[in-house]
Amino acid sequence: MLTLCVFSRGKLGRYPPWPGKIVNPPKDLKKPRGKKCFFVKFFGTEDHAWIKVEQLKPYHAHKEEMIKINKGKRFQQAVDAVEEFLRRAKGKDQTSSHNSADDKNRRNSSEERSRPNSGDEKRKLSLSEGKVKKNMGEGKKRVSSGSSERGSKSPLKRAQEQSPRKRGRPPKDEKDLTIPESSTIKGMMAGPMAAFKWQPTVNEPVKDADPHFHHFLLSQTEKPAVCYQAITKKLKICEEETGSTSIQAADSTAVNGSITPTDKKIGFLGLGLMGSGIVSNLLKMGHTVTVWNRTAEKCDLFIQEGARLGRTPAEVVSTCDITFACVSDPKAAKDLVLGPSGVLQGIRPGKCYVDMSTVDADTVTELAQVIVSRGGRFLEAPVSGNQQLSNDGMLVILAAGDRGLYEDCSSCFQAMGKTSFFLGEVGNAAKMMLIVNMVQGSFMATIAEGLTLAQVTGQSQQTFLDILNQGQLASIFLDQKCQNILQGNFKPDFYLKYIQKDLRLAIALGDAVNHPTPMAAAANEVYKRAKALDQSDNDMSAVYRAYIH
């Protein structure tokens, strides 16, 4: 059975709906305890997730509304793929029905040939045939007069009438799971989805249901799919050649439908593009959070959401068990720890500090040493993502340092991200993060270069994007960034000045080990030109403007 899924987007908004297929889970994957749920594989990705029954709703009754609300090209392509699936399935059903009719005719012919040929029997047979023809004629009239009634029947109901099945196990070739109608299905849409309303009663029949594509899923607070490989084991450990250990933590939101927040007091320093979304999700999942920001006004929104206000970084650290920090660059990270009323002044034995800033390995190693020298515990945990992913609680966390602290941060990481990796000793996460951002920044510059080259050679930029979206490079990142460029929308989702900083640090990392980074160096020069054109505080996609000026 296919599904259409709707997920939460941002603090109050939602993800667009996305088609998926309900499938049998792997044999070694245990079903979550609690409410009834089904295992879903999502079209266009390799993601899987357990989805609760109460998140299911009819597809056909609301398909057009959902398409109107979600104009994304990739979403439309996914819907087109589903429609193609339905057409193929319908063709198979018709073929199966035709074959069944042929078999029945062959059986009838065989029976007629085996009957006696006496005159009485022939007359009886002729009389019976006459009755059959008469009934068939009446049947045709009924079908003709009732065609509108037949058209109003749901495909699901017609399918059930055409192919009744005895109770028991389904045929071996039927791999999809069926979902029983549930009286618990509710429509609770809000925010950007306010135009979409559905409030069925307990016994309300589902209209225009389709046997192959019957429901879409609503997730009010849960995050979307997590690959079942991450669900199978809570900690998936892979030994790398370097000897460091990478641990992919399962997302307990997808598995259990909720997060049990730690009872430790959480502090958070820095409410920028990334920090704001992180704090919002920590609060949303029930954590006790104290916040501080250099610009105090940014704290107001989170105070209204239930956070406490810290007057200085030192005060936050001294009153909290675990303090997270997310600031812009190495200088800001050092000032936060070593400056007046800084983190170090609040560190006492047992106090924990987690630096989520993207900085170089030397900086994070220095900070770790001073924190540990005061009896504190230290973990670096830079994040891969952007503002939207931060708001959605879908960041990827790269952690290194104190392994016990990493485990203590489990509920926090689950609230703010979809996956976390533990990479061993301090410095490894910084290096890995710089390499990841180096690739991302270089890719963005290459996309901008391609778009501008297409333009100056008389090619359609939109067609260029369409071609990329149909090929191996297709991704949400590619589509979103290109669409924003074509619309002239450079509202920051990841500041251009920060990706240029990461490229600079990645190049320095290569220099330190005598490893060439010519692609990153070339991209860095383009970003530097964009900064000279006053694009620093725009999104990284504004590197496009470096090519057109």
Q: What is the CATH number of the domain that holds 26?
A: 2.30.30.140
| H helices, E strands: number in the chain | 22, 19
Q: Which two tokens stand for residue 345?
A: 């002044």
Per-residue pLDDT tens digits for 363-422: 999 999 999 999 999 999 999 999 999 999 999 999 999 999 999 999 999 999 999 999
> Are both 407 and 324 inside the same structural domain?
yes
Domain end point (choices 425, 440, 461): 425
> Are both 437 and 414 inside the same structural domain?
no
| Contact assessment for residue 280 and residue 305, using Cβ atoms and an 8 Å cutoff | yes
**Cα within 13 Å of Cα(154), Cβ side:** 17
Alpha helices in 218-288 (DSSP H): 228-232, 252-256, 273-284
Q: Return the closest-CA partner of residue 529 out of 506, 485, 505, 497.
A: 497
* Gyration radius of the chain over CA positions: 30
pLDDT tier for residue 191 given thresholds of 50, 70 and 90 = very low
> Are both 451 and 536 inside the same structural domain?
yes
* Residue 414 covered by a domain: yes
- Number of structural domains (the chain) is 3
Domain end point (choices 88, 103, 120): 88
Its domain, for residue 504, covers 431-544
Q: What integer pLDDT is reported at residue 107 of this predicted model? A: 61
**Cα–Cα distance measured from residue 25 to residue 63, given in angstroms and rounded to the nearest whole number:** 27
* Residue 282 covered by a domain: yes
More confident position, 56 or 356: 356
> Are both 415 and 435 inside the same structural domain?
no
> Are both 378 and 518 inside the same structural domain?
no
Segment 437-453 mean pLDDT = 98
- Residues 6 or more apart whose CB falls under 8 angstroms from that of 335 comprise 342
Domain end point (choices 377, 398, 425): 425
Segment 221-245 mean pLDDT = 37
More confident position, 76 or 191: 76
| Contact assessment for residue 268 and residue 324, using Cβ atoms and an 8 Å cutoff | yes
* Residue 76 covered by a domain: yes
Q: What integer pLDDT is reported at residue 15 of this predicted model? A: 47
What distances in angstroms separate CA 440 from CA 46, 329, 447, 448, 498, one per listed residue?
Answer: 21, 18, 11, 13, 12
What distances in angstroms separate CA 13 from CA 219, 340, 380, 388, 416, one per listed residue?
Answer: 11, 39, 30, 11, 16
pLDDT tier for residue 148 given thresholds of 50, 70 and 90 = very low
* Residue 129 covered by a domain: no
Q: Give Cα 248 to chain centroid, integer Å.
A: 16
* Residue 406 covered by a domain: yes
Q: Which two tokens stand for residue 433?
A: 């993060």
Q: What integer pLDDT is reported at residue 144 of this predicted model? A: 41
Per-residue pLDDT tens digits for 12-44: 334 455 677 777 877 767 677 666 777 777 665
> Are both 348 and 496 inside the same structural domain?
no
> Are both 417 and 442 inside the same structural domain?
no
pLDDT tier for residue 492 given thresholds of 50, 70 and 90 = very high
* Residue 310 covered by a domain: yes
User: Backbone dihedral region of 183: left (phi > 0), alpha (psi from -120 to 50 degrees) or beta?
Assistant: alpha
Strand 352-355 to strand 322-325: parallel, antiparallel, or no bridges (unpaired)?
parallel
The enclosing domain of 377 has a CATH number of 3.40.50.720
Q: What integer pLDDT is reported at residue 38 of this predicted model? A: 76
**Cα–Cα distance measured from residue 420 to residue 108, given in angstroms and rounded to the nearest whole number:** 65
Per-residue pLDDT tens digits for 496-544: 999 999 999 999 999 999 999 999 999 999 999 999 999 999 999 999 9
> Are both 519 and 400 inside the same structural domain?
no
**Cα–Cα distance measured from residue 462 to residue 481, given in angstroms and rounded to the nearest whole number:** 12
Of 47-56, 179-188, 429-438, minimum mean pLDDT range: 179-188
Specify the residue for token string 């879908």. Answer: 394
**Cα–Cα distance measured from residue 416 to residue 385, given in angstroms and rounded to the nearest whole number:** 11
> Are both 356 and 500 inside the same structural domain?
no
> Are both 252 and 368 inside the same structural domain?
yes
Q: What integer pLDDT is reported at residue 247 of this predicted model? A: 37
pLDDT of residue 489 exceeding 70, the answer is: yes
Looking at the DSSP bridge assignments, the partners of residue 116 are none
* Residue 119 covered by a domain: no
**Cα–Cα distance measured from residue 335 to residue 331, given in angstroms and rounded to the nearest whole number:** 6
**Cα–Cα distance measured from residue 260 to residue 415, given in angstroms and rounded to the nearest whole number:** 10
| Percent of the chain predicted with pLDDT > 70 | 59
Cα dihedral: 299, 300, 306, 308 (round 10): 50
Q: Return the closest-CA partner of residue 331 out of 367, 286, 290.
A: 367
| Contact assessment for residue 346 and residue 313, using Cβ atoms and an 8 Å cutoff | yes
Q: Return the closest-CA partner of residue 93 out of 151, 20, 153, 162.
A: 162
pLDDT tier for residue 101 given thresholds of 50, 70 and 90 = low
Per-residue pLDDT tens digits for 296-344: 999 999 999 999 999 999 999 999 999 999 999 999 999 999 999 999 9
Q: What integer pLDDT is reported at residue 103 of this predicted model? A: 63
Q: What integer pLDDT is reported at residue 530 of this predicted model? A: 98
Specify the residue for token string 């939207």. Answer: 388
Q: Return the closest-CA partner of residue 427 out of 473, 489, 368, 345.
A: 368
Q: Return the closest-CA partner of residue 312 out of 329, 336, 334.
A: 336
**Cα–Cα distance measured from residue 421 to residue 414, given in angstroms and rounded to the nearest whole number:** 12
The 10 Å Cβ neighbour count of residue 9 is 18
Q: What integer pLDDT is reported at residue 350 of this predicted model? A: 95
Q: Return the closest-CA partner of residue 338 out of 375, 363, 310.
A: 363
Segment 456-466 mean pLDDT = 97
Q: What integer pLDDT is reported at residue 155 of this predicted model? A: 41
Specify the residue for token string 């429609």. Answer: 83
- Residues 6 or more apart whose CB falls under 8 angstroms from that of 468 comprise 474, 478, 482
Q: What integer pLDDT is reported at residue 96 of this predicted model? A: 64
Q: Give Cα 529 to chain centroid, integer Å.
A: 34
| Contact assessment for residue 391 and residue 10, using Cβ atoms and an 8 Å cutoff | yes
What mean pLDDT is reported for the chain?
A: 75
- What is the three-class DSSP state of 241? coil
Specify the residue for token string 């069925």. Answer: 200
> Are both 377 and 436 inside the same structural domain?
no
> Are both 454 and 356 inside the same structural domain?
no
**Cα–Cα distance measured from residue 496 to residue 538, given in angstroms and rounded to the nearest whole number:** 6
pLDDT of residue 435 exceeding 70, the answer is: yes
pLDDT of residue 93 exceeding 70, the answer is: no
* Residue 227 covered by a domain: no
